[in-house]
Amino acid sequence: MTIPPEFASDVPPLARSTLDRSALRRQDEDWLTDAWSRGFVLVIDLTKGGRALVADRPDGSAGLVLLPASEAPEAEHWFLGIDPDGTPLWTVAGPLPEIDGSRAVTLRDIGHLLDSRDAGLFTAAAALGNWHASHLFSPRTGLPTQTVEAGWARKDAEGNLMWPRTDPAMIVLVHDGVAGPAGRCLLGHNSTWGPGVDDVRRFSCLAGYVEPGESAEAAVWREVAEEVGIGLTGLTYVGSQSWPFPGSLMLGFHATADPDAPMRLDPEEIDEAHWFTRDDVAKMIAGGFVHSDTGIKMSLPMRSSIAFYLIETWLGGFGR
């Protein structure tokens, strides 16, 4: 089941997908053999950040370059699903071929420029490939594992099965709940990001992993308190998106807080945080915002991220 096309614009960019995953086919060896012979393949280079080939389109969008199975690299292949037109789609991890008119990009670079089919395809391929690369041995027995179920499980010599795992993480845009241009949101600069590129510092939403035994909502309250030292006055779930770097599911929220409450930053997590007006954020998107106190040019996360989606929906007045 996929998100109906009429609702695709209401979800984060990498949550769009038209891919029928056809899980019931994953153990049908005869069907899979036939599906490989008539399928198309997305080659993904996991050694270089999960790059794949795309071809740019005249309208500014981009499309994935898929190869017939007969032209794919000699490597293990994993079944992704079936295209709406009935074409089986696969992925192979390996070096990218040289194809005129194409360029190699990561999902971070290009996700927002892909259509729903390709966004879902690239996201699934990256997540699945990263899982295989990190589970060549069983964490239970230490024995080598091999691929089964068309790439959706691995098994060791004792028959122990394991399936792809996804780590839940929360991400939240904190704002003051004020409508219109005067409304403000809180963005932080992560300590691990360094000084920035070309004297531009990136600011984003607050985020963190959901801990064992913890709900996503409780993680939001905890992470905000830990990272910037303020309490929340309200919390609303917005949506989720896979972030296969290497294998997270980002659970997105909008939250409200008092912008006059004193902040207490955790320097190991956040080394700088500010409240920004909607006008400030619009200027960041346009690439022309310099903070009046620090004199530093500031930017936002890449457009394929759920962080940008949360910020953009708040900017448009939909933050709750």
CATH code of the domain in which 72 resides: 3.90.79
* Cα 270 to the center of its chain, rounded Å: 21
Tell me whether residue 226 is in a domain: yes
For residue 154, is it within any domain?
no
At residue 66, φ and ψ (nearest 5 deg) are: -110, 140
CB 273 within 8 A of CB 186: yes
Same domain (yes/no): 124, 189: no
300 in the same domain as 214: yes
Rg of the chain in Å (alpha carbons)? 21
Same-domain check for residues 95 and 174: no
Question: Is residue 302 located within the same domain as residue 210?
Answer: yes
Within a domain: 143: no
Strand-by-strand arrangement of the 88-93 sheet? 67-68, 40-44, 88-93, 77-82
Give the confidence band of 287 by pLDDT, cuts at 50, 70, 90. Answer: confident
Same domain, 92 and 192: no
Same domain, 179 and 127: no
* Mean pLDDT of the residues in the chain: 92
Structure tokens belonging to residue 29: 């060896």
Please indicate, yes or no, if residue 310 is contained in any of the structural domains.
yes
Task: Report the DSSP beta bridge partners of residue 254.
Answer: 173, 236
Give yes or no: residues 112 and 180 share one domain: no
The answer to the question of residue 159 being in a domain is no
How far is 254 from 241, CA to CA, in rounded Å?
15
For residue 288, what pLDDT band results from cuts at 50, 70 and 90? confident
Quote the pLDDT of residue 320: 42
Q: Please check whether residue 62 is in contact with residue 114, taking contact to mean a CB–CB distance below 8 angstroms.
A: yes
Are 148 and 161 within 8 A, CB to CB? Answer: yes
Same domain, 103 and 175: no
What gap in Å lies between CA 185 and CA 288, rounded to an integer? Answer: 18
Of 5-19, 137-151, 283-297, give the range with the top mean pLDDT: 137-151
Average pLDDT over residues 52-73: 95
Q: Verify that 27 and 129 share a domain, yes or no.
A: yes
Considering the domain architecture, whether residues 284 and 238 belong to the same structural domain is answered as yes
C-alpha distances out from residue 145 to 46, 106, 125, 139, Å: 19, 28, 20, 10
Q: Is the pLDDT of residue 279 over 80?
A: yes
164-183 residue pLDDT tens: 999 999 999 999 999 998 89
- Residue 197: beta bridge partners? 200
Domain ranges, residue 197? 167-315
Domain of 215, CATH number, reads 3.90.79.10
Phi first, then psi: what are they for 254, rounded to 5°? -110, 140
pLDDT at 30 (0 to 100)? 97
The mean-pLDDT minimum among 262-266, 271-275, 295-299 falls in 295-299
Residues 256 and 122 in one domain: no
Q: How many domains does the chain have?
A: 2
Residues 196 and 75 in one domain: no
CA 68 to chain centre: 27
Q: Is residue 144 a part of any domain in this protein?
A: no
Residue 272, in any domain of the structure: yes
- For 82, residues 6+ apart whose C-beta sits below 8 A from its C-beta are 19, 20, 22, 88, 89
Q: Is residue 158 part of a domain?
A: no
